[in-house]
């Protein structure tokens, strides 16, 4: 692989552009330190031309969100026959669309929060009375990552603002029953559980600000302070979620450990962040895998999936 020219695909056109730049820069530096030839590429509509002109032989996808994590770039790379890191087209597309991912999770018998899916055209007519589970509720765009556009609604007068925040993004709006509890997240690497971490954000939940702008106020507890039985249970749930979507490489699977002691699956992230605040590097470090080791391991898994 060290004789290959690697393209680090980063940036992109979505709300997670800046985070992707940080992820890509960190990964590129780690691979260069290991002796790989890496070109950083800020993704634009001329990406195919750039890949050809630079002679890119392997693509390391450090893109987050739409048009990068959702199968679009993966499909282009399949057509161009350029091996790439991470999940393939179908797994990427499914995991990025929370509505369709939940259909797969339900078919697999995984524990989920009650929800209501609302089309953009029906948002103006939505009232609290139409929510089968009432308030509090979580309102989120169906096709965004990093908790972009997500709101927790406690009072009826907050619903309209939350819906307006979610409708700025493409796709249906997903409304779920709010489940109080502890945020337990699991890393999966090469179809094996990497580790379990608990996130204790200073804010109400682990939103975009807590993930990337917390300034140290968010607490990360590794290994997660839960019982051995709970660890086994959440690992089984998260590995099953990863496999049900057909994911490859690394993923981060998010759950809530409810006050009733039961786990609820939230989502699977097929290109989790690799910034200083990101969870996968923290989990890997906890079992002795350095950031450079992690970056190299992901690169060596690059392949065509179709």
List residues with catalytic annotation: 16, 146, 212, 252, 254, 267, 269, 273
Element (H, E) at 291: helix 291-300
> Dihedral (C-alpha) 63, 66, 67, 69: value to the nearest 10 degrees?
50
Tokens 């308030």 correspond to what residue?
A: 135
Q: In angstroms, rounded to a whole number, what is the distance separating the alpha carbons of residues 31 and 55?
A: 18
Element (H, E) at 174: strand 173-177
> Dihedral (C-alpha) 105, 9, 277, 283: value to the nearest 10 degrees?
60
Local structure of 39: helix, strand or coil: strand
Q: In angstroms, rounded to a whole number, what is the distance separating the alpha carbons of residues 133 and 116?
A: 9
Peptide bond into 180 cis (omega under 30): no
**Whether the Cβ atoms of residue 183 and residue 201 lie closer than 8 Å to each other:** yes
Q: Per-residue DSSP letters for 154-193?
A: -SGGGHHHHHHHHHTSSS-EEEEE---EEEEEEEEETTEE
Local structure of 101: helix, strand or coil: helix
Tokens (6 digits) for 41? 């590429």
From residue 299, give the alpha-carbon distance in Å to each of 77, 78, 86, 259, 291: 15, 17, 9, 39, 12
> Dihedral (C-alpha) 113, 116, 117, 123: value to the nearest 10 degrees?
-140
From residue 6, give the alpha-carbon distance in Å to each of 36, 77, 139, 250, 291: 8, 13, 39, 18, 18
């Amino acid at each position: 692989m060290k004789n290959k020219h690697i393209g680090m695909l980063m940036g992109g056109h979505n709300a997670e552009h800046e985070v992707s730049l940080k992820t890509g820069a960190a990964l590129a530096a780690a691979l260069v330190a290991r002796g790989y030839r890496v070109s950083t590429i800020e993704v634009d509509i001329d990406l195919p031309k750039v890949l050809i002109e630079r002679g890119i032989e392997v693509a390391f996808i450090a893109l987050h969100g739409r048009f990068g994590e959702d199968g679009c770039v993966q499909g282009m790379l399949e057509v161009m026959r350029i091996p790439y890191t991470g999940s393939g087209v179908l797994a990427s597309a499914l995991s990025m669309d929370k509505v369709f991912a939940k259909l797969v999770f339900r078919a697999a018998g995984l524990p989920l929060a009650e929800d209501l899916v609302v089309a953009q055209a029906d948002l103006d007519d939505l009232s609290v009375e139409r929510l089968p589970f009432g308030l509090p509720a979580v309102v989120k765009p169906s096709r965004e990552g990093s908790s972009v556009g997500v709101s927790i609604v406690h009072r009826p007068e907050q619903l309209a603002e939350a819906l307006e925040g979610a409708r700025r993004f493409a796709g249906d709006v997903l409304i779920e029953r709010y489940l109080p509890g502890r945020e337990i997240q699991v890393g999966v690497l090469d179809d094996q559980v990497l580790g379990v971490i608990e996130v204790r954000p200073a804010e109400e939940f682990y939103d975009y600000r807590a993930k990337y702008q917390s300034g140290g106020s968010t607490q990360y507890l590794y290994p997660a302070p839960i019982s051995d039985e709970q660890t086994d249970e959440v690992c089984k749930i998260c590995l099953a979620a990863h496999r049900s979507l057909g994911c490859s490489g690394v993923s981060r699977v998010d759950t809530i450990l409810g006050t009733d002691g039961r786990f609820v699956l939230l989502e699977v992230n097929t290109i989790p962040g690799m910034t200083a605040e990101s969870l996968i590097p923290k989990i890997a470090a906890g079992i002795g895998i350095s950031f450079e080791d992690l970056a190299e391991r992901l690169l060596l898994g690059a392949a065509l999936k179709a």
